Amino acid sequence: MSALGAAPALELIGICKRFGGVVANRDISLSLARGEILGLVGENGAGKSTLMSILYGMTRADAGDIRMTGEPVRIRSPRDAIARGIGMVHQHFMLVDTMSVLDNVMLGVEGGALLSRGRARTRAMLAALARDYGLSIDPGARVGDLSVGLRQRVEILKILARGARILVLDEPTATLTPGEAADLFRLLRQLANAGASVLFITHKLSEAIAVTDRIGVLRRGEYVATFNTANVTTDELGEAMVGRRVIAPVEKAPLERGRVMLEARDLTWRDPDGHARLASLSIDLHEGEIVGIAGVAGNGQTEVLEILAGMKRSASGSLAIDGDAVDIARFDPARARKHGIAHIPEDRLKQGVVVAFGASENAMLGYQRDRAYGARLLIPEAIRQKCRALMDDWDVRPVEPDLPMARFSGGNQQKLVLGREVERSPSILLVGQPTRGVDVGSIAEIHRRLVVLRDARCAILLVSVELDEILALSDRILVMHAGRIVAERKPAETTAREIGLLMTGVMERAA
């Protein structure tokens, strides 16, 4: 923390921003001291992303000022922000997967046409950061081959190598394992102790309490409260975020498993480099049950979802849906939908939405031939009305069907994708990371709706990095490691620790 009386490292004063009739930020003021970690929490659509876009120069405020160490500054672009020592780690990494760690860190600050000089300078800088903060990583490693935790480390190295003293992290633990998140927290505290200042944006209230010094709360575009972390509880934060007590997820009715709705046998898949991602994997899904898949990212659970949704072709094996054999070599998303399969992809930006399209167009993606939209001759007003009803039902903010998806927060994008798939009452639902980037109030509602769908006899396959979510929702848990199912557990007969050890292969090796 900064010395008593010292000017804050950063101040936002009276920030206002409006998009048409939507007020994203209303007279927001906050300060960040030198050596402080400030958490920023709020519901989806509360204005966090807009505020950070203004700070990083991606959006211009309509009114308000930014000060650094007491002096007014103008930040009109990310280049201005970087020049003033502000670095941002986005929720969706800004890395080139085909390039090395070294070249990703150097990209944009090559220092001239002689790349050998830039590489030598960057290599020395990476060595210094590894020595000072334990951020060791192979500079020659291809970024696309790294784990999610290591890719995030590359993002942090990029901004530190550019001299950042104010770090903005947007949902930094959304895709991390618990161990990777703990490593990140230790690093942030180390950086703060060395004098850096951190803005930590998150929906995970327990994590905000674990790593921050103070926590600020945004609600519907306004900055409504600041708490000293040592004196606040998750319940108090949740209530400040949503303006009411957060209702816990509904209880599930006793399991009444019905007939087998999906039977997959001996699925295999190799990536373009020939690495086996799935090895002779078999799964049964029964009507009226939620089967959760737990696993460290990159261990095959993504490929399972994509094969069953028709997005990838299994190299071998068989698939039957409600007792009918399916030609797995010709299975695609259109055929999956005809069989009553709905899919909520893990990566909404790559596979769930088209950010340049409006909300109304995204709300019908994959279902644009439905008669409700006019079948082959689309009726724009019918499309808007259906979208508006979906947005009202799923609390997607703002209720603006023509607004491009790029203008919505990640959580509101997620709710629209969920609504699009769930409202069709599928017989089989494949859902990946249903609450990624979603606020605490909406998480409870999403969980409730998944349980309602399960009780209506839908067969649900759930993939999530959140072990608490897997344990709370699943009737059975399958644990994946290295492309195989290594264990099956009932939630009442296991713990998060056991699942975590199985995920990493530790218990399998011990056995």
pLDDT tens profile 33-53: 999 999 999 887 788 989 999
Same domain for 311 and 447? yes
Mean pLDDT, the chain, rounded, equals 90
CA dist 353 and 92 (Å) reads 14
Which whole number is the average pLDDT over 177-205?
A: 90
Q: How, if at all, do strands 222-228 and 214-219 pair? A: antiparallel
Asked if residues 494 and 307 have their Cβ atoms less than 8 Å apart, the reply is: no
| Within a domain: 1 | no
| Within a domain: 406 | yes
| Within a domain: 127 | yes
| Sheet with 290-294: strands ordered across | 341-344, 428-432, 459-463, 290-294, 476-481, 484-489
Same domain for 160 and 274? no
Same domain for 16 and 127? yes
Which whole number is the average pLDDT over 268-280?
A: 84
| 150-170 per-position pLDDT tens digit | 888 899 999 999 999 999 998
Q: Over 80: is that where the pLDDT of 182 sits?
A: yes
CA dist 169 and 339 (Å) reads 41
% of the chain at pLDDT higher than 90: 66
| 112-145 per-position pLDDT tens digit | 777 888 889 999 999 999 888 888 899 999 998 8
Q: Over 90: is that where the pLDDT of 194 sits?
A: yes
71: its two tokens = 């002096």
Q: Over 70: is that where the pLDDT of 511 sits?
A: no
| CATH number of the structural domain spanning residue 295 | 3.40.50.300
Asked if residues 219 and 46 have their Cβ atoms less than 8 Å apart, the reply is: yes
Same domain for 201 and 266? no
pTM over 0.85: no
Q: What integer pLDDT is reported at residue 126 of this predicted model? A: 92
**Number of structural domains the chain divides into:** 3
CA distances to 19, 341, 345, 365, 393 from 354, rounded to whole Å, are 20, 21, 13, 9, 21
Q: What integer pLDDT is reported at residue 311 of this predicted model? A: 95
Q: What integer pLDDT is reported at residue 248 of this predicted model? A: 58
Higher pLDDT, 371 or 412: 412
Amino acid at the residue 402: D
| 383-417 per-position pLDDT tens digit | 999 999 999 999 998 999 999 999 888 889 999 99
Same domain for 19 and 78? yes
Asked if residues 240 and 217 have their Cβ atoms less than 8 Å apart, the reply is: yes
User: Number of H helices and number of E strands within the chain?
Assistant: 17, 20
Q: Is the peptide bond before 398 cis (omega within 30 degrees of 0)?
A: yes
Measured from the Cβ of residue 437, the count of other Cβ atoms closer than 10 Å reads 22
CA dist 315 and 271 (Å) reads 11
Same domain for 334 and 360? no
Q: Over 80: is that where the pLDDT of 4 sits?
A: no
Higher pLDDT, 233 or 21: 233
% of the chain at pLDDT higher than 70: 96
Measured from the Cβ of residue 420, the count of other Cβ atoms closer than 10 Å reads 23
CA distances to 106, 128, 470 from 443, rounded to whole Å, are 39, 41, 13
Which whole number is the average pLDDT over 369-373?
A: 84
Same domain for 120 and 235? yes
| Within a domain: 133 | yes
| Within a domain: 3 | no
β-pair partners for 10: 32
- Indicate the residue among 381, 402, 423 that finishes a domain: 423
| Within a domain: 345 | no
Q: 3-class DSSP state for residue 36?
A: coil
What band does 271 get if pLDDT is binned at 50, 70 and 90?
Answer: confident
Amino acid at the residue 430: L
- Indicate the residue among 372, 406, 423 that finishes a domain: 423
CA distances to 56, 103, 228 from 123, rounded to whole Å, are 27, 10, 39
96: its two tokens = 């080139």
What band does 250 get if pLDDT is binned at 50, 70 and 90?
Answer: low
Crossing angle between the packed helical segments 115-133 and 178-193, to the nearest 10 degrees: 90
Asked if residues 373 and 386 have their Cβ atoms less than 8 Å apart, the reply is: yes
What band does 215 get if pLDDT is binned at 50, 70 and 90?
Answer: very high
Q: What integer pLDDT is reported at residue 93 of this predicted model? A: 82
| Within a domain: 467 | yes
Same domain for 283 and 389? no
Q: Which residues of 296-329 are buried (b: 16+ CB within 10 A; e: fewer)?
A: bbebbbbbbbbbbbbbbebeebebbbeeeebebe
- Range of 391's domain? 351-423
In the block, residue with structure tokens 């192979």: 138
Kindly report each contact of residues 303-306 with a partner whose C-beta sits within 8 Å and lies 24 or more positions away, as own/partner. 303/269, 303/277, 303/278, 303/483, 304/267, 304/278, 304/461, 304/463, 304/480, 305/343, 305/345, 305/346, 305/430, 305/432, 305/461, 305/463, 306/345
Q: Which among 32, 8, 2 has a CA at the least distance from the CA of 198?
A: 32
Q: Which among 295, 66, 344 has a CA at the least distance from the CA of 177?
A: 295
Dihedral sign of CA atoms 201, 206, 209, 211 in order: negative
Same domain for 205 and 93? yes
Cα–Cα–Cα angle for 304, 305, 310, rounded to 5 degrees: 100
Q: Over 90: is that where the pLDDT of 371 sits?
A: no
| Sheet with 260-270: strands ordered across | 276-286, 260-270, 318-321, 324-326
Q: What integer pLDDT is reported at residue 507 of this predicted model? A: 58
Which whole number is the average pLDDT over 460-489?
A: 93
What band does 244 get if pLDDT is binned at 50, 70 and 90?
Answer: low
Same domain for 173 and 303? no
Lowest mean pLDDT among 78-87, 157-166, 235-244, 340-349: 235-244
β-pair partners for 479: 294, 487
Q: Over 90: is that where the pLDDT of 500 sits?
A: no
172: its two tokens = 């930094």
Same domain for 374 and 461? no
Same domain for 223 and 159? yes
Q: How, if at all, do strands 341-344 and 71-73 pair? A: unpaired
What band does 176 get if pLDDT is binned at 50, 70 and 90?
Answer: confident
Q: 3-class DSSP state for residue 193?
A: helix
Q: Over 50: is that where the pLDDT of 238 sits?
A: yes
CA dist 483 and 303 (Å) reads 9
- Indicate the residue among 423, 448, 477 that finishes a domain: 423
